[in-house]
Structure formats: C-alpha cells, structure tokens
Structure 1
Amino acid sequence: MYSANQEDTLRQEALDTARGYSTIMSSFDYQNLDANKDSIASMSTDEFAGTYRTMVDSLREVVAGGQGQASATATDVGIESLDNSSAKVLVFVDQQAKNVAAPEGNTQKYRMVVSLVRSDDRWLVSNVETK
C-alpha cells in the first residue's frame, strides 16, 4: 500500500508520461518519419514499441506521398484508473496537420486512452486507443 504522497507521485508520473507520449506520437514530418522512433520506443513496452513501428511502416508511403506534417498538444489529461502496477489515462490531443490536400492545415481533435504499466521506477506505454 502506498502513502498519499507516493500515490500522488505515481498519478503525476502517469499523467506526465501519457501527455508526453501522446504529443510525440501525434507529431510527425514526412521528411523524417523516424524522428520520434527512439523516443517512442524508450517510453513503450517492447511489444507496443513493435506495434508502433509496424503502424509507422504501414503509413510511411501515404504520409510521404501526401507530404504530411503534424504538431500536437495534449490539452487535457485525466486518470481513468490507477494502481501500483498499471494505469489508464485519458488524453485530449489537438493536432495541427497539413499535407498537399490541405496546405493551410487544419486542427483535428483526438481522444486517447493510454494504458501504462509500471516497470521498475517508471511508467511504460502498453497500448493506445484513439476514440
């Protein structure tokens, strides 16, 4: 059982991890789609890092062909569930994206559920669902 301070620390670390991950995952540039790969891998379980790599590889041709670029901001985060070994965090992301079809860009709003597992002294992302 954790003290209130320890639980607050776990909660804040989970929120920070989910916020950072969602922002990095939702930001890309067709000129260097691998730029975020190391950051994503270091914040993920091995299994989910593989899932992420597969997703990027499957979208590579479409994003590069459309000259897609995006930056993102996690506007709000909140804990759905939390215990000493896992957490689910709701993340609201605003993504500013542009490509050849929309050169002026547009803003897309995403809701994500980021699943985390505790590994040693940090949280790792084990799944992300976009709602």
Structure 2
Amino acid sequence: MSGPKGRRGLHIALGVLVLLLAAGVVVGGVYVAREHQDREQAAADQDRYGDVLAAAREEIEAFVNIDYRDAQKSIDAVAAGATGDFAKQYDSSTKDVVEILTRAKSVMDGEVLWAGVVDADNDSATVIVATTGTVSNTQTGNKPVARQFRIKVDLVREDDEWKTSNVEFVG
C-alpha cells in the first residue's frame, strides 16, 4: 500500500480529519461566544435588578418615614423618586397631607424588611416591598403602634434613573 492508491486514501483521510477538526473549532467558538454573551446578559440583568431594588427601597423608606415636625423633608424625599401620574397625585395631595399630619401630630418610623423584583425589563419594573415600623399620633395617644405594610411599587427608567410611577398597598 505504499503506492499511489494508498497515499491517495491517506490524503483523503487526513483531509476529512482536518475538516472535522475545523468544524469542531467553529462549533466550539460559537458555544464560547454564546456563553460569553449569556454571562454578559446575566451580569446586566443582575445590575438592573440591583438598581431597581435600591430605587424601590429608597422610595418606600421615604414613604414610611414621616414626621409632622419636618413633614416637607419627608414629602420632598418621596417626590424626588416619583414620576408620571404618581408624582402628580402625590404633589397635589401634599398640602392636605401636611395639614393632616400636623393636626394629628403624626410620626411614622419604618424600615424596609425585604424587597423582591416581581418583573423587570430595560424600561420598567415591579417590586413588592415589606415594611415594619410604628405610627404615633393623637389617635394612638402619641404612643407608637406597630405597623407593617406590603407595597407594590411600579418603576420606570427615566434619564438612566429608576423612578416610582405607582405605589399600591397590597396587604
């Protein structure tokens, strides 16, 4: 088999082997590229979720901490994170809220216990937030009474920031 037929068969076998190896390299490269893209997407998703959670926590912390002695500071903190119809509704009701808070000598102290993203994409998100805290006012004899809230927060992305577009008590 050292003749021309033997060499020809060897050349064909080597050619097929080279083609198979080249195909394997291409397929492997495609898988590596996909894995890299998947990891980049997962990192971007993780960053977005972190930003969404931070914005929701900040807004609700402002929302559940209000003191009649400096109500405007609390109102301004909520307004800073609000947008759209929520911002308009909140802004239009703040004068009445300050009056009610002052008359009742209301103080609400609270904190976010946990928050979880329900849904998120590049431009909008929904977060459920659980809070705990106390409320004291003239109706409670100015003694702190425990309060827990479950709040659904809708957010939208505006100018590279997450803003609250709706707040809804859910339980």
Out of 142, 145, 154, the residue aligned to residue 115 of structure 1 is 154
Task: Assess, with a 3 A threshold, how the Cα gap between structure 1 residues 99 and 22 changes in structure 2: closer, same or farther.
Answer: same
Q: CA deviation at 1:46?
A: 4.6
Out of 63, 76, 100, the residue aligned to residue 25 of structure 1 is 63
More helix by share: 2
Give ranges in structure 2 of 5+ residues lacking alignment: 1-36
Instruction: Note the aligned Cα RMSD (angstroms).
Output: 1.7
What is the match of residue 127 of structure 2?
A: 89
**Contact 1:115/1:128 (CA < 8 Å) preserved in 2?**
yes
Give ranges in structure 1 of 5+ residues lacking alignment: none
What is the match of residue 14 of structure 2?
A: none
Q: Does 1:126 align with 2:165?
A: yes
What is the match of residue 4 of structure 1?
A: 42
Equivalence map 1:44-55=2 (5 Å): 44-55=82-93
How many residue pairs end up in the alignment?
Answer: 131
Higher RCO (C-alpha 8 Å, min separation 6): 1
Q: Deviations over 1:90-126 (max 9, x none)?
A: 0001131111222221111111000000113221110
Identity %: 25
**Contact 2:72/2:98 (CA < 8 Å) preserved in 1?**
no
2: CA distance between counterparts of 1:10 and 1:66? Answer: 40
Q: TM-score, normalised by structure 2?
A: 0.71
More strand by share: 1
**Contact 1:33/1:56 (CA < 8 Å) preserved in 2?**
no
Letter in structure 1 aligned against 2:139: A
Q: Does 1:80 align with 2:132?
A: no
2: CA distance between counterparts of 1:67 and 1:86? Answer: 37
1: CA distance between counterparts of 2:150 and 2:100? Answer: 23
